[in-house]
Structure 1
Amino acid sequence: MIAIAPFLLSIAAIIANIFLSVTKIKKPVLLGLNLAFWAVVLVSFFAFRGEILDGELPFFVAGFIVLGQFELILCVMICALTLIFFATLYFSDDKSYFKPELIALANLSSFGMMGMVISSEIITTLIFIEIASISIYAMIALNSLNSKSIEAAFKYFLLSSFMSAFYLLGAAMIFGMTQTTKYELLSKITSPSFITTIGVLLVIAMIFFKIAIFGFYRWSIDVYYGASNSITGYLAGAFKLASFGLLIKFALLYSGGWGEILAIIFAVVAVCSMFIGNFLSLKEVDVKKILIAAGIVHAGYIFINLASFSEESLFAGVFYLCIYAVTTGFAFLILNSLFGDNQITLESIAGLYKSSPLGALAFTIICLSFIGFPYTVGFLGKVYLFSSAFEASNAYLAIFGIINTILSVYYYLRIIISIYFNEPSQTVQVTRQKSIWIGILSVLAIAFVILEGVGALSILGNLNLIMD
């Protein structure tokens, strides 16, 4: 039972917040309680690390979930991103974008994401996907005063339900041909039938949809943009990380006999995603849309590593996945703290350094990290990614990655130039108390990007143990 203690704590958080949502508890107190609770969950993963890695699971979950180094680090990242999300909510408008129910839904969604990461059976995985997804539908739609939020929630619900049907069809095909839905047993199939391969591709198509990769990204532009800034950061960070973790487990760690087919698909997806994402970002003037479209590019970078299809090389992809998710979470945290849920264009961030020097500096360093500027965590991640491609004799993928990195410099520099060199049309109003919190959060963001960039932190450096 000790091995699943952090997950039991997260369930306790869900139950507690259901009761708290009907009380008249004040927003700072409610957020403070949840920040403290998820900090405890985060610490518990480290406290019970030995028991978790021993794999001694209770009988009622054995065979349905698996806990190892890979699952541990992703669960830690989801906890960290949940903490960032709750910190972001502190700056959301109380009337439109914050309701007590939102906290309970966020707890439920984070639990579902952790379940996605630890599940080792196709149907169990779908249950956790739906737990996370349904919570997010409701979170997006809670702002009933904004028609864009309602439209975004409905579009996400409709398309996601459609893709879930493909997932179930694929699962039925796999079970019909193999008589199992457990990843471990599927990995022992060396010569899968045509029907089994089609089933696997249908399951992976649904995961591609959740990641919002090339061919499955159209919905993400409207849905991410229609959601509030805080929820967009949560989607682009935590949910994308959980979806990638699921893809890595299903397609790589338990690949079966379809590795060569997936390697080709991943390579095509990597190249197309990078170019499509950059093309969408180059023409945008809305900062939020730039970050949303750039997320497709960064997903393409991760697929460079996944296309190599080597268990030993997965460190690069998982490392970049984790640091991108956390950096994105901080990016939307800074934006939400400065602008709330207002539209954020290049014009609205002009001269930002005058009203919030630390916030402007933090967002600038985050943009430099996205570019891959030396001594930032983004640079370190790209070095790992492109090196893994060269080592796997996929030099062309690394070259395409470098070309797209150069292309991305344009729109990130537009943001930085607007912050420091353009004259503001209106000054961002920042109160003294708000300024203090923005300063603290900005320092945390800068510390993560720089310290992890030079290897001063060790938590992500331990990712080389994911295959142990």
Structure 2
Amino acid sequence: MDGLRLLLPELGLSALALTLMACDLFFDSRRGKVLMGLGFVAAAVGLGSLGLAYNSPETYQGLGTLWAVDPLALFFKALILAATVFALMLSIDYKPADDIRHPGTFAALVLFSAVGQMLLVSATDLLLIFLSLELVSISSFILVGYERRDLKSSEGAIKYFLFGAFSSAIFVYGISLMYGALGSTSLIDITPMMDRGVSLAFLVGCLLLAVGFGFKVSMAPFHFWVADAYEGAPTPVTAYLSIAPKAAALAVMLRVFTHLIPHPQLELQGVFSFLAVLTMSVGNLTAMFQTNVKRLLAYSSIAQAGYLLIGFVTADTMGREGLLIYALVYVFMNLGAFTVAMLLGNEEGYELEAFDGLAVRNLGLALLMTFFLLSLAGIPPMAGFIGKFALFAAAVKAGHWWLAVAGVVNSVISVYYYMAISYHMFFKAPKTLEPARTDVLISGTLAFAAVGVLVIGLYPEPFLAAARLSADMLPAVPH
């Protein structure tokens, strides 16, 4: 029971999600947004409780049977809940009440996905990792296809489901091979057992786990579902999927692979180095040819996963610190970019032409979008530069200078397609002179994202300290 105390936020959110689904049976769509608002409040309260966890580590941290709650878990849980809060905030005014079917169920699915991710970042057993991944995946499949009348939404959900089912089967087979090789699925036991030697079954199991995680992180060549799923999903869901599940998967990859990557018999460092370069290159080069902003940002998110993998490959504290700080920055800049895209997309569609002359219609929105895009490109003094600098510096220090060079080259390439959006906003004539409308929730989300990018860019020390603490505590298992 003492171990369950560590999971009170997850248990509370699960109970509320079930309550929202039950209440959704009795609320009509016009009042259903109240349920979505309750989901937003619940996620915000959960996020606040994590702040207490950092201030009272003796109360909120410890080991359970299959999980650990430590600074690494708390760091990523905060990211996940922050993304959840703002995804639900955007969802409230995403469409008129009459156009949203079962908003309470929608909010419940977002909360279930968040619970799965929170369990995932705390998991110290491969079986709990698999179950958590499935909770995230099932919720995400339904959310992507939530707009059933939209053919693109259904198409994206089917592709997402098929790729997800295939990757889950591969992941489970990898677990079975590792269990057969070592006789345990606990991460606490795996590292000491490797001293006896590494078998072929264990090596293949590690590679199959990497494939399963590659799907969740949208690594190339496991990324083919991303563009269609992101384009078809409701835009708040797209923003959410591009941030939270990716961060959660990276967190559990750190737990699983941190002590496996440097092992000389596994040679995983070369595998993940190749995947990092391939992922950022495929994402950036494909994004250059997109004319739909949601697809462009989808391929951008693939490239961002490649940058994050650089910190993962180094297998040292500095690399993990860079990964954590860049994951934090990514929440704000990607959230801001998708918020502006959603605002225009609801009225004009998501093609690049929808951004024509936005500076004339709403100069503030155009400047904010450019601000977020510059941060995604890693231009100083934006927060994105701080994150990329930390990642590239870690790569150079670890002797992987070519990874840093590949990252810099890809960052330069990304400027082209990010600035293509700005070109349409500032140098194309608008199709209409009607001002682009915003509301309180949209404005609040944009303000929060902009402040986050600006503060981390200009005053990164507190955030770097939090990332350093979480990186130093990894893994939350005995040596």
TM beyond 0.5: yes
1:174-323 equivalent positions in 2, closer than 5 A: 174-188=178-192, 189-190=194-195, 191-252=197-258, 257=263, 261-323=267-329
In structure 2, what is the Cα distance between the partners aligned to 1:180 and 1:9? Answer: 31
- Do structure 1's residue 45 and structure 2's residue 45 form an aligned pair? no
Are 1:377 and 1:450, in contact at CA under 8 Å, matched by a contact in 2? yes
Are 2:336 and 2:450, in contact at CA under 8 Å, matched by a contact in 1? no
Cα distance, 1:459 vs. partner? Answer: 4.6
In structure 1, what is the Cα distance between the partners aligned to 2:347 and 2:59? Answer: 41
Structure 1 stretches lacking a partner, 5+ long: none
- Do structure 1's residue 333 and structure 2's residue 342 form an aligned pair? no
Cα distance, 1:106 vs. partner? Answer: 0.8
* Aligned CA-pair RMSD: 2.1
Identify if the C-alpha distance between structure 1 residues 229 and 52 changes in structure 2 by more than 3 Å, giving closer, same or farther: farther
Secondary structure of the equivalent of 2:258?
helix
- TM-superposition CA deviations, 1:197-234 (whole Å, max 9, x none): 10111111100011111111111121111212111111
1:369-388 equivalent positions in 2, closer than 5 A: 369-388=375-394
Identify if the C-alpha distance between structure 1 residues 52 and 140 changes in structure 2 by more than 3 Å, giving closer, same or farther: farther
Cα distance, 1:91 vs. partner? Answer: 2.8
In structure 1, what is the Cα distance between the partners aligned to 2:228 and 2:198? Answer: 38
| Letter aligned with residue 90 of structure 2 | T
Are 1:137 and 1:156, in contact at CA under 8 Å, matched by a contact in 2? yes
Are 1:88 and 1:337, in contact at CA under 8 Å, matched by a contact in 2? no
Cα distance, 1:253 vs. partner? Answer: 5.3
- Do structure 1's residue 9 and structure 2's residue 15 form an aligned pair? no
Q: Percent identity?
A: 25
Are 1:355 and 1:427, in contact at CA under 8 Å, matched by a contact in 2? yes
Are 1:63 and 1:182, in contact at CA under 8 Å, matched by a contact in 2? no
| Letter aligned with residue 307 of structure 1 | V
In structure 2, what is the Cα distance between the partners aligned to 1:227 and 1:44? Answer: 30
Aligned to 1:81: 83
- Do structure 1's residue 447 and structure 2's residue 458 form an aligned pair? no
Moved more, 182-191 or 72-81: 182-191
Are 2:260 and 2:266, in contact at CA under 8 Å, matched by a contact in 1? no
Moved more, 238-247 or 2-11: 2-11
Cα distance, 1:97 vs. partner? Answer: 5.1
User: In the alignment, which of 145, 151, 154 is matched to residue 147 of structure 1?
Assistant: 151
| Letter aligned with residue 64 of structure 1 | L
Cα distance, 1:457 vs. partner? Answer: 7.5
Are 2:86 and 2:445, in contact at CA under 8 Å, matched by a contact in 1? no
- Do structure 1's residue 127 and structure 2's residue 146 form an aligned pair? no
1:339-378 equivalent positions in 2, closer than 5 A: 339-340=345-346, 343-378=349-384
- TM-superposition CA deviations, 1:231-277 (whole Å, max 9, x none): 11111111111111121211115668468522101110111112211
- Do structure 1's residue 34 and structure 2's residue 39 form an aligned pair? yes
In structure 2, what is the Cα distance between the partners aligned to 1:421 and 1:450? Answer: 26
Aligned to 1:18: 21
In structure 2, what is the Cα distance between the partners aligned to 1:314 and 1:439? Answer: 33
Aligned to 2:116: 112
In structure 2, what is the Cα distance between the partners aligned to 1:361 and 1:20? Answer: 41
Secondary structure of the equivalent of 2:462?
coil
| Letter aligned with residue 77 of structure 2 | C
In structure 1, what is the Cα distance between the partners aligned to 2:330 and 2:277? Answer: 18
In structure 1, what is the Cα distance between the partners aligned to 2:175 and 2:279? Answer: 26
Identify if the C-alpha distance between structure 1 residues 308 and 460 changes in structure 2 by more than 3 Å, giving closer, same or farther: closer
Cα distance, 1:456 vs. partner? Answer: 5.6
In structure 2, what is the Cα distance between the partners aligned to 1:66 and 1:396? Answer: 35
Are 1:5 and 1:44, in contact at CA under 8 Å, matched by a contact in 2? no
In structure 2, what is the Cα distance between the partners aligned to 1:109 and 1:428? Answer: 38
| Letter aligned with residue 443 of structure 2 | G
Secondary structure of the equivalent of 1:370?
helix
Identify if the C-alpha distance between structure 1 residues 279 and 310 changes in structure 2 by more than 3 Å, giving closer, same or farther: same
In structure 2, what is the Cα distance between the partners aligned to 1:325 and 1:259? Answer: 36
Are 2:379 and 2:385, in contact at CA under 8 Å, matched by a contact in 1? yes
Are 1:14 and 1:108, in contact at CA under 8 Å, matched by a contact in 2? yes
Secondary structure of the equivalent of 2:406?
helix
| Letter aligned with residue 309 of structure 2 | F
Cα distance, 1:12 vs. partner? Answer: 2.5
| Letter aligned with residue 248 of structure 1 | L
In structure 1, what is the Cα distance between the partners aligned to 2:461 and 2:310? Answer: 25
Identify if the C-alpha distance between structure 1 residues 108 and 342 changes in structure 2 by more than 3 Å, giving closer, same or farther: farther
In structure 1, what is the Cα distance between the partners aligned to 2:434 and 2:189? Answer: 57
Cα distance, 1:27 vs. partner? Answer: 4.2
Moved more, 47-56 or 196-205: 47-56
- Do structure 1's residue 166 and structure 2's residue 170 form an aligned pair? yes
Secondary structure of the equivalent of 1:348?
helix
Identify if the C-alpha distance between structure 1 residues 461 and 346 changes in structure 2 by more than 3 Å, giving closer, same or farther: farther
Are 1:113 and 1:242, in contact at CA under 8 Å, matched by a contact in 2? yes
Aligned to 1:64: 66
In structure 2, what is the Cα distance between the partners aligned to 1:276 and 1:85? Answer: 27
Moved more, 217-226 or 256-265: 256-265
- TM-superposition CA deviations, 1:324-359 (whole Å, max 9, x none): 133212321232233328631221111112333332
Identify if the C-alpha distance between structure 1 residues 234 and 305 changes in structure 2 by more than 3 Å, giving closer, same or farther: same
In structure 2, what is the Cα distance between the partners aligned to 1:452 and 1:320? Answer: 10
In structure 2, what is the Cα distance between the partners aligned to 1:98 and 1:419? Answer: 33
Cα distance, 1:125 vs. partner? Answer: 0.8
Q: TM-score, normalised by structure 2?
A: 0.91
- Do structure 1's residue 418 and structure 2's residue 421 form an aligned pair? no
Aligned to 2:477: none
Moved more, 229-238 or 96-105: 96-105
Identify if the C-alpha distance between structure 1 residues 184 and 53 changes in structure 2 by more than 3 Å, giving closer, same or farther: farther
In structure 1, what is the Cα distance between the partners aligned to 2:36 and 2:359? Answer: 28
